[in-house]
Amino acid sequence: MSDHISTGRGWRTERNAVSLPEVHRTIAVTNQPGFWRKLLAFSGPGYLVAVGYMDPGNWATDLAGGSQFGYSLLSVILLSNLMAILLQALCARLGIVTGRDLAQACRDHYSPAISFVLWILCELAICACDLAEVIGSAIALNLLFHIPLVFGVCITALDVLAVMYLQNKGFRYLEALVIVLIVVIGGCFLLEVLFSRPDLPALVRGFIPHPEIIRNRDMLYIGIAILGATVMPHNLYLHSSIVQTRKYEQTPSGKAEAIKFATLDSSMALMFALFINAAILVVAAATFHARGEHGVAEIQDAYKLLSPMLGVPAASVLFAFALLASGQNSTLTGTLAGQIVMEGFLNLRLRPWLRRLITRLVAIVPAVICAALYGASGTAKLLLLSQVILSLQLSFAVIPLILFVCDRRKMGIFAVGGWLRGAAWASAALIVVLNAKYLSDWSGLSVWLARAF
């Protein structure tokens, strides 16, 4: 079966390049019957995407939320994760059906000027994301081995070499490394939750939304940061690309099967990410908030206080080790996302090593500057701000995605409709409203509107 996909009525130009060409359709999908065989063949991309939902930016937001407000923001983590599951399923559908990643689809659909603006906004989001990931890894290296932050940032930049090596060996090797690191993070936080002995009734109540989250400006700020840290813009571009590493049949039935198993893969992986995000907030609530330490937002402070407060010498080391695994995992997938975004929007034709080096430098330079200027102090505020920036950029990725997957001219019989379409637009509306609410509070527009009306 040919890999060529016709443009149809919905696309303005013929698809002239595949996404991530060095690994495109390199993983064969078995034709033998059997649910588990198929699921295993499609499993992997979801876990690369899930990495972004447990990166050091999430740590900063979850630590701040847990220490200040106890278990109250667990409902935001749950809602954000459900939105992420839905949006990532739509990304997989777009990539599988059209053979285009989200960046390529935007370049085709919008004018060059609008595409350029979307690219700049996405690069800003990647810089903010990478700032959190790199600084998180550097903090972990500093806590474990006393390496200065600037040197730690430079060390984490070497992950581009790991991506190049593993992709040359085969995309499955990169997926395997990511899954191993996820298991390490999950194991560390399972132990941390057991050590912290959370209040189970209060924990369960935390998953129930309440209006105080909207009314309390500080709580809303952290809630929006959690949203930005969970539903990350660059992850939408990443997933729409890496689902195309599977060599599924280019027929309606083959694509339907690929959508089914890719959605299962990402949904299961994101439920694991939900556990880790919730575990970080639960540990902060049970350890710090319950003991009156409401101002613990710095990762370094959490590291220093965990062992003394819990009476478990290994607690702080496990915390730092999980942070290092989280940061390195996130930078691996962030490097891929940067390549996908730059190639998709700009249609660059460069050698693979040069593409990755450029995309890495675009993201790593701001991290080095921030580490040099701020050092170890103020990293929590920097990490929280980076996640708010991600949330503010989110609409510019989510709205085009939903427009594309709901367009029957582009998606044919795979266009989204019914309740799924409604849920997708409701998610987009919630993101826009929360960001608008935060911006109005931040700028004082709410006061002006109150006087005007």
Residue 89 has, within 13 A of its CA and on its CB side, a CA count of 21
Does residue 443 register a pLDDT over 60?
Answer: no
Long-range contacts of 434-441 (CB under 8 A, 24+ apart): 434/220, 434/223, 434/224, 434/227, 434/391, 435/224, 435/391, 435/392, 435/394, 435/395, 437/214, 437/220, 438/220, 438/221, 438/224, 438/388, 439/392, 441/217, 441/220
- Average pLDDT in the 286-312 region? 86
- Which amino acid type is present at position 420? L
Number of neighbouring beta carbons within 10 Å of residue 310: 18
Eight-state DSSP code of residue 32: S
3-state secondary structure of 95: helix
What's the predicted TM-score (pTM) here?
0.88
At residue 244, the pLDDT reads 95
Least confident of 108-112, 171-175, 333-337, 375-379: 375-379
What dihedral angle (degrees, nearest 10) is formed by the CA atoms of 134, 47, 275, 326? -20
* Percentages of the chain per state (helix, strand, coil), in multiples of 5: 80, 0, 20
At residue 414, the pLDDT reads 95
Q: Rounded to 5 degrees, what are φ and ψ at 246?
A: -85, 140
Q: What is the residue-wise DSSP string for 261-321?
A: HHHHHHHHHHHHHHHHHHHHHHHHHHHTGGGT-TT--SHHHHHHHHHHHHT-THHHHHHHH
At residue 3, the pLDDT reads 39
Number of neighbouring beta carbons within 10 Å of residue 344: 27
- The pLDDT tens digits for 410-424 are 999 999 989 999 999
Distance CA 425, CA 430 (A): 9
- The pLDDT tens digits for 315-369 are 999 989 998 888 888 877 877 888 889 889 988 766 666 766 776 676 667 777 7
User: How many residues are present in the chain?
Assistant: 453
At residue 412, the pLDDT reads 92
At residue 394, the pLDDT reads 84
- The pLDDT tens digits for 206-242 are 999 888 888 888 888 788 777 766 677 888 999 999 9
Distance CA 291, CA 270 (A): 31
- The pLDDT tens digits for 7-59 are 446 888 888 788 888 889 999 887 777 889 899 999 999 999 988 778 777 77
Domains identified in the chain and CATH numbers: 35-452 (1.20.1740.10)
DSSP-H helix ranges across 146-251: 149-156, 159-169, 171-196, 200-206, 212-215, 217-230, 233-242
Which is more confident, 252 or 391? 252
Nearest CA-CA partner of 178 in 191, 167, 190: 167
Structure confidence at residue 382 as a pLDDT band (50, 70, 90): low
At residue 259, the pLDDT reads 96
At residue 296, the pLDDT reads 78
Least confident of 53-67, 170-184, 298-312: 53-67
Q: Which residues contact 361 (CB under 8 A, 6 or more apart)?
A: none
Number of neighbouring beta carbons within 10 Å of residue 215: 9
At residue 279, the pLDDT reads 93
Structure confidence at residue 297 as a pLDDT band (50, 70, 90): low
At residue 352, the pLDDT reads 63
Does residue 304 register a pLDDT over 80?
Answer: yes
At residue 444, the pLDDT reads 44
Nearest CA-CA partner of 87 in 415, 424, 440: 424
The tokens for 353 are 């090593």
Distance CA 246, CA 260 (A): 13
The tokens for 279 are 């575990």
Nearest CA-CA partner of 185 in 337, 375, 324, 23: 324
Distance CA 427, CA 317 (A): 38
Distance CA 345, CA 241 (A): 13
Structure confidence at residue 451 as a pLDDT band (50, 70, 90): very low
- The pLDDT tens digits for 87-117 are 999 999 999 999 999 999 999 999 999 999 9
At residue 164, the pLDDT reads 67
Which is more confident, 450 or 348? 348
Q: What is the CA radius of gyration of the chain?
A: 21
- The pLDDT tens digits for 117-159 are 999 888 888 877 777 777 888 888 988 998 888 888 878 777 6
Residue 246 has, within 13 A of its CA and on its CB side, a CA count of 31
Which is more confident, 413 or 64? 413
Q: How far is CA 127 from the centre of its chain?
A: 13
